[in-house]
C-alpha cells in the first residue's frame, strides 16, 4: 500500500497522475513513483520521500497519454528508490503498481531467482511483474496473463498492470485492497481512493473482490455499475486551515448535524436508522451487540457498547477486529455485530465481516464511504455522514461513530424498556450536541495553553473509568499518533494495581471526570495521583474541589450517557496543540497510514 493512480485517454497522463498522488498523500506513504508510455516504451521515475520530489524529477509536461503511479508505505524492504513502485520486468516492457501483501512472495521470488531472474528490489510486488511478463509470452491477452499469475498468489492486492506494447489498455485487479474506476469522456481513471478522481469525474465504478478487468480509454467491463459520488474537489482542499486535522475538528458540529438529520423522532422519543434494515420484532430479538473495529474505531465501539448496555439493558462489548477471526469466535444468531471502519476498506475489519458472513452471523456496517468494501459486504448499516476525512488522526469520523451508536442504543432501548421520558431526554441531548461541541471547540486557546505547558513531558497517563475509559483510550491514541509522546490509558481503579509506581512530578495524568455517579471515585483517584506528586489535567464538566488539579479542560453538561462524546473533543484539541508545539507533521504522522489495507 498505499496509493494507486492510473490514467488512459486522450490527455496528458503525467499531470493527472501527479495530482492524483498529491491527493492521496493523506493516506500516509514514504516513497512515490510513476511509469509513462512514451513511443511504446516505458519511462519510469521513482523517489524515496515526498510526491513533490517526484514531481520535480518528472515535470508536468512529460509526454504520454497512459500511465500508472503509486505512493508506497513500506511493508517489504526499506524506503529506497529501488523499492518504490512501479516495478518493471527485466526487459522494461511491463510495469505494476500494487497495494496489499503477497504472502507467498518468498517462494515466488525464490523460484524466479532459480530461473535466472535478477531481482533489483526487496519487495513482494516485484515478483508479480516478472511472473506476468513471463506468462504474457504464452497468452493472447494481458488480462489472461494477469489472471493466470494471480491464481498462484496468496494474499491481498489492488493491482494495475501496464504493457508498453499495448498502450491502449490497463489491467486492474482487486482482492482485499480497493480499486475504483473513474469514467470520463474518452478517458478512464483508476485509483485506490475516490479522492484522486473527484477533480476529473463524479462517475465511479468500484471493483468487487476477486475481480479482474481490462480498462481502455472509452470502455471497460466490470460486474459493477457506474454510480455518482456526491463529493467534489473542494471537499479535499484545506481552505484557510493550517492542516486537515484542524479543519476536520472544526467541521464536527456540522458533521454531527448531518448524522442526526432525519434520524431523530421526538414524537416517539426514538431514532430511525433505516439503513440497518431491522424491524422492531427483529430488534427485540437481539440478545447481544458486539462492536468490531480497529484503533479509534474500536474505541468508538467501546463507547457504543456502554451506551447499548445503559439504554437497552442488553449485554454489549467491543473487540479489535484484527483479533476476531483468529480466535475462532463463537457466532451467535441472536447477536448483532457492528463492523466499524471510517474508510470501509480496513482489511482486518473486512476479514471479520467475511468470517461472520461465512458463519451466518448478522452484521451491519458503520462506515463513512459509500460503496466501500465493508459497506458492500455487510449490505446494511449506518452511514456516518462525517464527510471526507483526510488527516490520518480521526476526529470527526470518530465523533460521528459515537453519535451513530448513541442513536442505535436509543433505538434498541425504546423497543425494550427505555421509557418515553428517558427517550425524550436522549433525543434532546443528541439535538444539543452540535452546539455543545462548538462550545468546546471555542475553548481552543485555553486548551492550547495547557498543551504547551506539558509539551516537554516524555510520558503521560490517560485515566478514566466506565464511561470515561474509552475516552481515555482514544485520548492516549490521539496523543501517541500525532505527537509521538508515549501515552498510556488506564482504568482508574487499576492505577493502584501497578501503574501508580510510575507516578511522579514528571508524569502528567489526563483524568476523564464526567459529572456522574462516579464523581467521588474519580476525585479519589486524582488525590492518589496528587499524593505522589503527579500533575493532573482534568477533562470534566464537574465542579472539582479548589486546588485539586493543575489544569481543567471544560465541557458543557449533557445527559450523562452522552457526556463521553463531548469529553473526547478536548482530548483532540490537547493532542493537536501538543503535537503542534513539538513541530510534528500533524496530518502525516510517521509510520502510519489512513486506510490500513494490509494485515
Query: Who contacts 537 (Cβ-Cβ below 8 Å, separation ≥6)?
Result: 450, 454, 508, 509, 510, 511, 549, 550, 551, 552, 553, 574
Annotated active-site residue in 43, 46, 290, 594: 594
What is the Cα–Cα distance from 324 to 317, expressed in whole angstroms? 13
Span between the terminal Cα atoms of the chain, in Å: 11
- Unique residue bearing C-alpha cell 471497460: 220
In 3D space, the residue among 283, 269, 282 whose CA is nearest the CA of residue 412 turns out to be: 283
70 with 85: CB under 8 angstroms? yes
CA distances from 207 to 87, 174, 308 (A): 23, 7, 35
Angle between helix 396-414 and helix 252-260 axes, rounded to 10 deg: 30
70 with 192: CB under 8 angstroms? no
Give buried/exposed letters for 471-498 (b at 16+ CB in 10 A, else e): bbbbbbbbbbbbbebebbbbbbeebeee
What is the Cα–Cα distance from 121 to 87, expressed in whole angstroms? 9
Query: Who contacts 497 (Cβ-Cβ below 8 Å, separation ≥6)?
Result: none
Tell me how crowded residue 219 is: count the other CB atoms within 10 A of its CB.
Answer: 9
Annotated active-site residue in 2, 46, 294, 588: 2
Cell of residue 382, nine digits: 449506518
Residue 594 annotated among the catalytic residues of the structure: yes
What is the Cα–Cα distance from 550 to 446, expressed in whole angstroms? 13
Query: Who contacts 473 (Cβ-Cβ below 8 Å, separation ≥6)?
Result: 299, 302, 462, 464, 489
Map residue 455 onto helix, strand or coil.
Answer: coil
Catalytic positions, please? 2, 594
Amino acid at each position: 500500500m498505499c496509493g494507486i493512480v492510473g490514467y488512459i485517454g486522450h490527455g496528458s497522463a503525467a499531470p493527472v497522475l501527479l495530482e492524483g498522488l498529491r491527493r492521496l498523500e493523506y493516506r500516509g506513504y514514504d516513497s512515490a513513483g510513476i511509469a509513462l508510455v512514451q513511443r511504446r516504451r516505458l519511462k519510469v521515475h521513482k523517489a524515496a520521500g515526498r510526491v513533490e520530489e517526484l514531481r520535480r524529477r518528472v515535470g508536468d509536461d512529460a509526454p504520454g497519454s497512459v500511465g500508472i503511479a503509486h505512493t508506497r508505505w513500506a511493508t517489504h524492504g526499506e524506503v529506497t528508490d529501488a523499492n518504490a513502485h512501479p516495478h518493471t520486468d527485466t526487459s522494461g516492457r511491463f510495469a505494476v503498481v500494487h497495494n496489499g501483501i503477497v504472502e507467498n512472495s518468498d517462494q515466488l521470488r525464490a523460484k524466479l531467482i532459480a530461473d535466472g531472474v535478477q531481482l533489483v528490489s526487496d519487495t513482494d510486488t516485484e515478483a508479480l511483474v516478472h511472473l506476468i511478463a513471463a506468462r504474457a509470452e504464452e497468452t493472447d491477452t494481458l488480462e489472461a496473463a494477469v489472471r493466470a499469475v494471480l491464481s498462484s498468489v496468496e494474499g491481498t492486492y489492488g493491482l494495475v498492470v501496464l504493457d508498453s506494447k499495448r498502450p491502449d489498455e490497463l489491467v486492474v485487479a482487486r482482492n482485499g485492497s480497493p480499486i475504483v474506476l473513474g469514467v470520463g469522456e474518452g478517458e478512464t481513471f483508476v485509483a485506490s481512493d475516490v479522492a484522486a478522481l473527484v477533480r476529473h469525474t463524479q462517475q465511479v465504478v468500484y471493483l468487487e473482490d476477486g475481480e479482474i478487468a481490462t480498462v481502455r480509454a472509452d470502455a471497460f467491463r466490470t460486474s459493477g455499475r457506474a454510480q455518482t459520488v456526491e463529493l467534489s474537489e473542494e471537499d479535499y482542499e484545506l481552505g484557510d486551515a493550517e492542516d486537515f486535522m484542524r479543519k476536520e475538528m472544526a467541521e464536527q458540529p456540522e458533521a454531527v448535524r448531518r448524522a442526526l438529520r432525519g434520524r431523530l423522532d421526538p414524537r416517539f422519543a426514538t431514532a430511525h436508522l433505516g439503513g440497518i434494515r431491522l424491524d422492531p420484532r427483529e430488534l427485540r430479538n437481539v440478545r447481544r451487540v458486539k462492536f468490531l473495529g480497529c484503533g479509534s474505531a474500536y474505541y468508538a465501539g467501546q463507547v457504543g457498547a456502554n451506551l447499548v448496555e445503559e439504554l437497552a439493558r442488553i449485554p454489549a462489548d467491543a473487540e479489535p477486529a484484527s483479533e476476531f477471526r483468529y480466535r475462532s469466535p463463537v457466532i451467535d444468531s441472536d447477536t448483532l455485530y457492528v463492523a466499524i471502519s471510517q474508510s470501509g476498506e480496513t482489511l482486518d475489519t473486512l476479514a471479520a465481516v467475511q468470517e461472520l458472513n461465512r458463519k451466518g452471523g448478522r452484521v451491519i456496517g458503520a462506515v463513512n464511504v459509500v460503496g466501500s468494501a465493508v459497506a458492500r459486504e455487510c449490505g446494511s448499516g449506518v452511514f456516518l455522514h462525517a464527510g471526507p476525512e483526510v488527516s490520518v488522526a480521526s476526529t470527526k469520523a470518530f465523533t460521528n461513530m459515537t453519535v451513530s451508536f448513541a442513536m442505535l442504543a436509543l433505538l434498541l432501548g425504546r423497543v425494550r424498556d427505555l421509557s418515553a421520558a428517558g427517550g425524550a431526554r436522549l433525543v434532546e441531548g443528541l439535538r444539543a450536541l452540535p452546539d455543545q461541541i462548538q462550545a468546546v471547540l471555542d475553548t481552543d486557546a485555553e486548551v492550547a495553553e495547557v498543551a504547551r505547558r506539558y509539551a516537554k513531558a516524555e510520558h503521560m497517563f490517560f485515566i478514566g473509568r466506565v464511561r470515561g475509559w474509552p475516552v481515555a483510550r482514544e485520548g492516549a491514541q490521539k496523543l501517541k499518533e500525532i505527537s509521538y509522546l508515549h501515552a498510556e490509558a488506564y482504568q482508574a481503579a487499576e492505577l493502584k494495581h501497578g501503574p501508580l509506581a510510575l507516578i511522579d512530578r514528571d508524569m502528567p495524568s489526563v483524568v476523564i471526570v464526567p459529572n456522574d455517579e462516579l464523581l467521588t471515585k474519580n476525585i479519589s483517584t486524582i488525590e492518589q495521583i496528587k499524593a505522589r506528586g503527579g500533575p493532573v489535567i482534568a477533562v470534566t464538566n464537574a465542579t472539582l474541589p479548589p486546588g485539586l488539579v493543575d489544569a481543567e479542560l471544560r465541557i458543557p453538561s449533557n445527559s450523562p450517557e452522552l457526556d463521553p462524546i463531548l469529553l473526547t473533543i478536548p482530548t483532540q484539541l490537547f493532542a493537536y496543540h501538543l503535537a503542534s508545539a513539538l513541530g510534528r507533521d500533524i496530518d502525516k504522522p510517521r509510520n502510519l497510514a489512513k486506510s490500513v489495507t494490509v494485515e
